[in-house]
């Protein structure tokens, strides 16, 4: 079953990446470039805040995954600039790098895992890991509260988002971009959760509440770690943590 999973994920993220590229090209064609002040409505601004909080979560994984600082920086800049196109490209490349053995064993574990000399990395990390878990808890709590505050403020000042006039071409493109990243996060949640029911509920919350759920889920996972644990352990499910 692992080989179809790896192949299925490659197909999924290649299709999603192509979908976003096509959406971007089409939207530029029909509505021009997005760098216009008239597009920045309150709900577009709220959507962008939501979008970039999820980007922070994905960027945190990339910064762990990449042992080379320059490579990590380039990918994070691409994430910021091109959103889910970069997300799909990065995940697709990581899936292509899997050996047949890794695809057979557990493709998601190996995609998430940082490939390098772990002894060297842990030696450097030993000095900072205690504060890293606490810092990450605080950071994602603040980000979640920021998004919650943004949502409440936008609801109060601009009303419901379920209005036809808000669905401009660039808002639609932004939502597609946003939800492709949600798909990536949902794959991670499905890998993490041992119960399909809990995975389904968390994914449903991701779809409905976006980065508020992302932050809540990350904080929940961080609370399951001790301050002595390296923060990257939240990437892995309980079965794989012993292998890291």
For residue range 32-78, what is the model confidence (pLDDT) as tens digits? 999 999 999 999 999 999 999 999 999 999 999 998 999 999 999 99
Mean pLDDT to the nearest integer, 134-140: 95
The residue behind tokens 């660039």 is: 170
User: Are 42 and 161 a contacting pair, CB within 8 Å?
Assistant: no
Q: What is the reported pLDDT for 101? A: 87
Coil, strand or helix at 160: coil
**Count of alpha carbons within 13 angstroms of residue 238, beta-carbon side:** 5
- Mean pLDDT (the chain, rounded): 90
Full residue range of the structural domain in which residue 158 is found:
2-241
Least confident residue range of 115-129, 134-148, 161-175 = 115-129
User: Are 17 and 88 a contacting pair, CB within 8 Å?
Assistant: yes
Orientation angle between helical segments 169-192 and 2-31, nearest 10 degrees: 170
Q: What is the reported pLDDT for 234? A: 94
Mean pLDDT to the nearest integer, 94-121: 79
In this predicted structure, the answer to whether residue 195 has a pLDDT above a threshold of 90 is yes
How crowded is residue 144: how many other Cβ atoms within 10 Å of its Cβ? 21
Least confident residue range of 23-37, 71-85, 95-109, 153-167 = 95-109
Distances (CA, A) of 209 to 87, 164, 166: 20, 20, 18
Least confident residue range of 18-22, 125-129, 185-189, 198-202 = 125-129
In this predicted structure, the answer to whether residue 123 has a pLDDT above a threshold of 70 is no
Q: What is the reported pLDDT for 120? A: 41
More confident site: 50 or 240: 50
Whole-prediction pTM = 0.90
Number of domains in the chain: 1
How crowded is residue 168: how many other Cβ atoms within 10 Å of its Cβ? 15
pLDDT tens string 197-236: 999 999 999 999 999 999 999 999 999 998 888 999 999 9
Phi, psi of 98 (to 5 degrees): -65, 135
Cα-based torsion angle of the residue sequence 5, 97, 90, 56 in order, rounded to the nearest 10 degrees: 90
Q: What is the reported pLDDT for 122? A: 47
């Amino acid at each position: 079953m692992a080989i179809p999973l790896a192949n299925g994920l490659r197909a999924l993220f290649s299709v999603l990446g192509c979908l976003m590229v096509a959406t971007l090209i089409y939207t530029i064609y029909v509505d021009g470039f997005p760098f216009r002040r008239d597009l920045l409505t309150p709900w577009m601004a709220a959507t962008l805040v939501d979008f970039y909080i999820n980007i922070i979560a994905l960027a945190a994984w990339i910064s762990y995954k990449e042992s080379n600082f320059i490579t990590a920086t380039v990918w994070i800049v691409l994430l910021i600039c091109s959103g889910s196109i970069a997300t799909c490209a990065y995940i697709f490349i990581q899936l292509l790098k899997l050996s047949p053995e890794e695809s057979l064993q557990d493709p998601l574990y190996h995609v998430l895992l940082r490939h390098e000399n772990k002894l060297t990395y842990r030696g450097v990390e030993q000095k900072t890991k205690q504060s890293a878990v606490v810092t990450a808890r605080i950071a994602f709590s603040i980000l979640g509260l920021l998004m919650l505050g943004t949502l409440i403020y936008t609801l109060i000042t601009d009303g419901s988002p379920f209005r036809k006039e808000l669905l401009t071409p660039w808002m639609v493109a932004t939502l597609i971009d946003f939800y492709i990243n949600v798909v990536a996060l949902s794959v991670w949640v499905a890998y993490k959760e041992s119960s399909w029911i809990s995975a389904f509920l968390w994914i449903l919350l991701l779809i409905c509440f976006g980065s508020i759920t992302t932050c809540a889920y990350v904080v929940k996972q961080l609370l399951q770690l001790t301050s002595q644990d390296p923060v990257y352990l939240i990437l892995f499910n309980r079965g794989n943590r012993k292998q890291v």
